[in-house]
């Protein structure tokens, strides 16, 4: 029997960096979280979790998860796993993406168009059809952009 494959569900979390960012109120108010300044060179956070006390060090992230749980995460792992939320509403995303697609198609900048479409797939914000020709992409993006602007 082979193992089944799973994909992590997209969730929005909040986070800050130990010793770099000011801890937000949700961290300052938590009874099970504290930042310790052992000396000028050593700053770390201790967080009581169900697994015991966990430590995060200078530059690591403290994450507040989907149900309010706090836990530390090494900076390199955090940056490989999460990306900042850039837009407040979905319409801004589509408008921005469609404008960029139209601009790239209009200037026949195929290399950057492919890069943008790959980023769109990675974001999961817009489902592009890889079978569409450049002309079909131009027509669809013009129509969608026109609808957004009107």
pLDDT of residue 64: 93
Q: What is the pLDDT of residues 95-112, one digit of tens each?
A: 677 777 777 777 777 777
pLDDT(52) > 70 = yes
Q: What is the pLDDT of residues 8-35, one digit of tens each?
A: 778 889 999 998 999 999 998 988 888 8
Token pair listed for 80: 């490989």
Using DSSP's 3-state secondary structure scheme, residue 119 falls into helix
Domain spans of the chain? 14-81, 90-149
Q: How far apart are CA 12 and CA 20, in angstroms?
A: 21
Q: How confident is the model at residue 61 (pLDDT cuts 50, 70, 90)?
A: very high
Token pair listed for 98: 């469609």
Q: How confident is the model at residue 42 (pLDDT cuts 50, 70, 90)?
A: confident
Q: How far apart are CA 95 and CA 91, in angstroms?
A: 6
10 or 74: whose pLDDT is higher? 74
């Amino acid at each position: 029997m082979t193992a089944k494959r799973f994909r992590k569900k997209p969730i929005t979390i909040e986070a800050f960096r130990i010793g770099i960012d000011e801890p937000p109120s949700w961290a300052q108010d938590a009874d099970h979280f504290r930042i310790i300044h052992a000396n000028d060179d050593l700053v770390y956070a201790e967080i009581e979790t169900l697994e015991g006390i966990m430590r995060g060090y200078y530059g690591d992230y403290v994450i507040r998860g989907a149900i309010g749980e706090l836990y530390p995460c090494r900076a390199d792992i955090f940056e490989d796993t999460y990306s900042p939320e850039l837009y407040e509403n979905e319409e801004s995303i589509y408008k921005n993406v469609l404008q960029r697609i139209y601009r790239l198609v209009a200037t026949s900048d195929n290399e950057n168009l492919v890069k943008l479409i790959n980023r769109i797939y990675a974001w999961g914000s817009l489902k592009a059809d890889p079978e569409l020709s450049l002309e079909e992409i131009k027509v669809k993006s013009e129509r969608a952009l026109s609808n957004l602007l009107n």
